[in-house]
Structure 1
Amino acid sequence: MNEQQRPGPRRAADGRWARSLLAVALSAGAVLPAGTAVAQTADEPGPSATAIALAVPSRATGAPLTEGHQGFSVESADFAHGFLTTDLMAQRMRTLGSHGVLRLGGYSMDLVWPAFGSWADAPAPKEAIGGTVDQADLDALRKLLHATGWKATLGLPLKAVIGPAKLKDPTKDPAPQVTLDQVVAEVKAARDTLGDDLLSVEIGNEFDNVTTLTGAEMWDTMKSYQAAIRAAVPHAVIKVAGPSANTASTNTRLGEVASAALSDTSVQPQDVLSELSSHFYPGSHCGTSTMTVPQLMSSDTYLRTRTKLEGIRAVGEEFGGRIPMTVNESNSASCSGQPGVSDSYATALWSLDYLLQTAQNGIDRVEFHTNTAAVCGDFKARTSADYPISYRYYGAFCAADQARLDAHQLSAAPLYYGLWAFSQVPQGRFVDLGLADSDLARVRAYGVESRDGTLTVVLVNVQDPAAAGSTDDRVTLSLPAEYRKGRQTTLRSSAPEGLASLDAGRITLGGRGVTASGRPSGRPVTAAVPVDLHASTVVVPAGTAQIVTFTR
């Protein structure tokens, strides 16, 4: 992965690469004379363009798209090893917006040693392979949150607290012997240090994967943690995020915990829960499982994801919408991602599509699991002495080499470009564009109407431009009469490998890349989109996304 963004001409088969030369010059750092208009020529459809007709209704009646919908999930081990610093992370978070959430957790949640209170000077046992979390880590986190406007949720150990009798396999990655009192001491220190920037605490990671707790037992466990925390920190209301059930396509475990909470007459669920959290990865690299780029971008994956999200939303509706529903750990493929897929350009388009799909289905927030301080491609296997601190193929950023990592110069991975593109969509409410399921193999389409009446339409052509038979999409939008003009911003890669490209340096959003400092390069490049007789036609080349803003 390259430090500088180096977009080149598009493959010759497009026949339209010359029109991107301005975008190339800008993203390479060219300086335009003062007053120069920044625009791009909209793509013309190729001879094999597929016509798709969509209609924008006069009223927005869908789910809201709110600020802070996207965030990051990082391993507790990364936190324990001091990687969540302002120099390393702040600008990369700020570029995505100022209202994100940083979840500290993951599998290493049970493998760290909290050194607070009476345990501040206690040596960490050998089982604490995730490292030691201490006051210096909290201080660095406070600076990072203040520098970005983001907030954090704190993951807490579960396995040692409930004891080996309730573990599926006590011999697998045995946890250090952390007590509930020790956990409470960490939460008290976190609250004293972070204040209201501590959104909530999370009890364990995927309890259904590592314990034999039933849904009712997990609910009782969550209540017991919160009661102990409340007794130690009576001046603050600290709620619990959970149950963080696993990535299965069903929501059985989430439903079991929800049912236990709803039938509990001793408390109001919203007094205990800050959010009902789930995990979801559409693919897997666990064991012998594999995933391909075509599978990631397929309509089958989209539809399976929709079913999962609809199930989460249904659970949330049982609580009358009083508790946010989150997917607080997610990415393309579980078990550190699929090489050649999770680090490919395809994930830029997939993550943009996935974020919009989750928001449209009523999910309040999605946090992408990522590494924080890794050399690109320097994967550490589970048997490595460095585990669980490892490069993950689905990371949002990484350093080209150790020298650049030491200099805090992280390159944006393809995934990051999709998150950045999503951040360009303003808050509002979704409108139903009427895209048929039969068109999902070619295009994904979303519309969001802002409070000021601006309409943002996002069109993603999920076809691989490097594949034979791929087509441009010629999307005709029927618009309400008040929309008179539009402008579009393009997410694309100039790499000839198409969706399979691993060169994030060939990706641009509006003609810009992300520099090693985490800042966008150059000035944004947009193109005018004509509106004629209450209709507009947008050409979406294969392997691109178009973000089109229509104004009244």
Structure 2
Amino acid sequence: MLSPLYITVFSFLLSLPFVSAVTLYTIPGPAATGTANPAFQTAICIGAVPCDGSQLTPTPNPGNITTAINIQLTDGGYPGLGIPVSGNFLGFSIELSVANQLFGNTGTQLNPIFLNLLANIETRAGRILIRVGGNSQESATIIPGGLPNGTAVEKITFSSDKTATPTLLLSPNLIYAMGNISNLVNVQWFLGVPFNDTSNPRTTLAEIAQHVLGDRLVGLQLGNEPDLYTINGLRPPTYTPDQFTADWGTVLQDYSSDSKVLNSSMFVGPSVCCGLDTGWTPEDVWNTGFLTDYADQLAWISVEHYPTNNCNDTGILDPEVLMPQLYMNHSAVVQLSAPYLNTSQIALTLNKPFIMFETNTASCGGFSGLSDSFISAMWAVDYALSMASFNFTNALLHVGGQSDYYNPFTPPTTNQSSYRQWSIGPTFYSTLVIAESLGSSNLSQVVDLQLNSNNDLTPGYAIYEQGTAQRVVLFNYLTDPSGASDYTAYISVGGNETGQANSTPASISVKLLLAPSATDKWNTTWAGQTFGGPFASDGRITGSEQIIEITCDQPNNVCAVQVPAPAVAVVFLSQSSLQESQGTATATFQTTVATGTINTVSIDPSVLATSNGRGGQSFLGLGSTSPGSSDGLKITPYNALIACFLIMFFNALTLLSR
């Protein structure tokens, strides 16, 4: 008799369509100041996001933009400064189901392009925060003995809800890969652990991760977007914040009583996402006693939020309409951050870091023409600095699969990796801009200057360290190649009407984040450097760095900075602030594959022979969505073997279909 798992997976395989056509697209070239392999300029695409040439119309000048903006800074600080934050403020949230596509599919063969991308941030910020998790963490199960062919992640079934989340089998190789990455680049990890069945919490993943990663594992996320559990079929329709708090405590007890879990006080929560729309607010969870009950086990306070969604559950949204409403609109950015001010104060009182654990332009992959254009880079910088001014300590940009428009970086499909490189999205440039804007001192405090009478198209921020103004970040969301919409910012430090001595520097340095228009897709540059066009990057930024040196008018106490339309300008008010933020060599990993010689992580075999929490080697019930029950299908060693056979069968079908 066939097992339920065999029937489920086999039925899914039969439902898959075959690819019957290949379309030839002409791909735009890279940024004018960068370089790219000409072989990547024309390529065969099968629905690949980098080949989507859709482009929106930039917002025109409304006619009321002031071309001269005065900025008066003071010594000794500035009213409204946020808490001290570091250059690694922006990190990445990587969906668990695609992590192996980015890291490499085994624990010892790492993807050098991914390492190069991370090295760009490390040289500027000192370290990188990466979360591995998402919707796919909830029903994932790690197989201690590994998966066939040394693979790290296998997808078994797909949910029928709007997220189309796969059920995953994981190998310890995924954790080995994370450990080996951290041996080469200074990455600190968050890991999402299962939460779909409170009677079988499956603590094995945490056991292995803690043993392998050690202090490079900084948090375990227990529960991902619990306010969407009813929509996603993980809990009954009547599920409440009180029930979530009770479930959290039930599963937490299993971790606390598991002798192979080395640290049961490193959890991340509550990770609610949608209280600004239709879900729970953090306060809904705080009112259940969550913080009172679990303050000792909670290492990070987390929320997740996107400005909107492209999940088609509320009808098709038009990015052309959304662009001026949500993304070229500083007030809309502030409205994303402001509702969390109360929670940020609670986090400060408890001395807990407060993190935006998952965000990007729009959930369910973002929008064509918006999430993959220059506007998303400017928006991400604006949003990150806004969050910092509202006392967030970090924020993570989500990274999904091949069909997601918002990805900071996207590898080619496996069968194209031999002749294609990676496509670097606009928001990856944002992480570099933020790293340099905040520097590596861990002392940067951000304040929204409400520039130009708080005009939504020309926002700006000041960044202080220990009471001294170090940097200014200026935005121009408009697109105008004529130069008529450029503006000049006149920056003064002290003097004038402040009652302080004139402290304006003799000279300043400026770096520009540029593109020909706000909706351009492949011509973004940061200080004249680029990652090139689609399928063109090996993870190293190319071109000569361009730093604009400006002599200030000290007698008149002013430095004049021109901000093109469109652009983000980062103004360094001293040579020390520039040097603190400066990236150095990033050509770190140039080989095709980093091999097993770097496999320096290991794990005690006794951990692999884990009890796996409650349930022993029978693993968990993947089908149960009711709290406290486990009556769904089981993954036994027999079923796992059949599942692996079917996975290989599916791979063969895929090859035949091409």
Relative to the length of structure 1, the TM-score reads 0.77
- Mapping of residues 78-97 of structure 1, within 5 Å: 78-79=98-99, 83=103, 85-97=110-122
Say if 1:286 and 1:334, in contact at 8 Å, map to a contact too: yes
Partners of 2:549 and 2:155 lie apart in 1 by 60
The alignment status of 1:485 with 2:507, answered yes or no, reads yes
CA contact (8 A) 1:471 1:541 kept: yes
The residue type equivalent to 2:244 in the other structure is M
The structural deviation recorded for 1:303 is 2.6
In our comparison, the structure showing a higher alpha carbon Rg is 2
CA 1:139–1:408 in 2, change beyond 3 Å: closer, same or farther? farther
Q: How does 1:110-509 map to 2 (within 5 A)?
A: 110-116=138-144, 126=157, 129-161=166-198, 179-180=200-201, 183-211=202-230, 212-232=238-258, 233=260, 235-249=262-276, 252-261=280-289, 264=292, 267=293, 269-287=294-312, 288-292=315-319, 295-296=322-323, 298=325, 301-319=329-347, 320-371=349-400, 389-399=401-411, 405-406=417-418, 409-425=421-437, 426=439, 427=441, 428-430=443-445, 432=447, 434-436=449-451, 438-451=453-466, 453=468, 455-465=470-480, 471-480=485-494, 481-482=502-503, 483-494=505-516, 498-503=517-522, 506-509=523-526
Q: For the residues of structure 1 that align with 2:157 and 2:412, how far apart are their CA atoms? A: 32
The change in CA–CA distance for 1:67 and 1:261 in structure 2 (over 3 A counts) is farther
- Quote the residue 1:41 is aligned against: none
Change (3 A) 1:328 1:234: closer
Corresponding position of 1:107 = 135
Structure-2 residue corresponding to 1:12: none
Contact kept, 8 Å, 1:431 with 1:446, in 2: the verdict is yes
Give the distance between the partners of 1:190 and 1:161, measured in 2 at CA.
20
Q: CA deviation at 1:449?
A: 2.1
Aligned mates of 2:138, 2:551 — CA distance in 1: 56
* CA spacing shift, 1:2–1:491, aligned 2, 3 Å: farther
State the shift of 1:292 in Å. Answer: 2.6
Is there any run of 5+ residues in structure 2 with no aligned partner, and where?
A: 1-24, 37-64, 105-109, 160-165, 231-237, 495-501, 576-658
Report sequence identity in percent: 18
Q: Give per-residue Cα distances to partners, 1:301-339, cap 9 Å, x unaligned.
A: 533442342222312323415121111110001111011
User: Secondary structure of 2:287's match?
Assistant: helix
Query: Distance between the aligned counterparts of 2:484 and 2:214, measured in 1?
Result: 52
* SS of corresponding position for 1:521: coil
Asked if the contact 2:331–2:456 (Cα under 8 Å) also holds between the matched residues in 1, the reply is no
**For residue 384 of structure 1, what is the aligned residue in structure 2?**
none
Q: Which residue does 1:51 correspond to in 2?
A: 68
Within the candidate set 551, 572, 584, 1:549 is matched to 572
Aligned pairs, number: 473
Q: Displacement, 1:6?
A: 3.7
Distance 1:278 1:261 in 2: 17
- 1:29-68 correspondence runs (5 A): 50-61=67-78, 62-63=81-82, 64-68=84-88
From the superposition, tell whether residues 538 and 126 of structure 1 become closer, same or farther in structure 2 (CA, over 3 Å).
closer
Shift of 1:245: 0.8
* Contact map agreement 2:462 2:471 (CA 8 A) in 1: yes
Deviation at 1:461, TM superposition (A): 0.4
Superposed CA offset, 1:94-119 (max 9, x none): 21224221111112123433223899
Kindly indicate whether the alpha-carbon contact (under 8 Å) linking 2:402 and 2:410 is maintained by their aligned counterparts in 1: no
Alpha-carbon offset, residue 400 of structure 1: 6.2
User: Match of 1:260, SS?
Assistant: coil
Once the two structures are TM-superposed, the CA of residue 364 in structure 1 deviates from its matched residue by: 0.9
Instruction: Work out the CA distance in 2 between the residues paired with 1:546 and 1:96.
Output: 19
Q: CA offsets per residue over residues 468-498 of structure 1, 9 Å max, x none?
A: 997112212222323221010111013xxx1
Q: Kindly indicate whether residue 28 of structure 2 is the aligned counterpart of residue 7 of structure 1.
A: no
Q: How far did 1:294 drift?
A: 6.6
Over 3 Å counting, the alpha-carbon distance change for 1:355 and 1:131 in structure 2 is: same
SS of 1:151's partner is strand
Q: 1:520 aligns with which of 523, 534, 541?
A: 541
**Residue 282 and residue 296 in structure 1: after superposition, are their counterparts in 2 closer, same or farther (change >3 A)?**
farther
Shift of 1:202: 1.1
Aligned residues of 2:471 and 2:571 also touching (Cα < 8 A): yes
SS at match of 2:330: helix
* Structure 1 SS opposite 2:98: helix
* Native 8 Å contact 1:369 1:395 kept in 2: yes
CA offsets 1:5-58 (integer angstroms, 9 cap, x no match):
8433xxxxxxxxxxxxxxx3xx449xxxxxxxxxxxxxxxxxx86222221122
TM-score (norm 2): 0.65
CA contact (8 A) 1:411 1:518 kept: no
Q: CA deviation at 1:71?
A: 0.9
Contact 2:491/2:560 (8 A) holds in 1: yes
Residues 126 and 279 of structure 1: is their aligned pair in 2 closer, same or farther, counting only changes over 3 Å? closer
Write the deviation string for residues 355-411 of structure 1: whole angstroms up to 9, x where unpaired. 11111111111110113xxxxxxxxxxxxxxxxx54310001124676663468313
CA change 1:262–1:138 in 2 (3 A) is closer
SS in 2 for 1:415: helix
The change in CA–CA distance for 1:193 and 1:399 in structure 2 (over 3 A counts) is closer
Asked whether the 8 Å contact 1:245–1:279 carries over to 2, the reply is yes
- Identify if the C-alpha distance between structure 1 residues 293 and 512 changes in structure 2 by more than 3 Å, giving closer, same or farther: farther
Structure 2 CA distance for aligned equivalents of residues 118 and 396 of structure 1: 30
8 Å CA contact retained: 1:444, 1:460: yes
Which deviates further from its counterpart, 477-486 or 344-353? Answer: 477-486
* Mapped contact 2:132–2:191 kept (Cα < 8 A): yes
Change (3 A) 1:463 1:237: same
Q: Deviations over 1:419-450 (max 9, x none)?
A: 22212112443364642584433212011123
Aligned CA RMSD, in angstroms, stands at 3.4
How far did 1:158 drift? 2.0
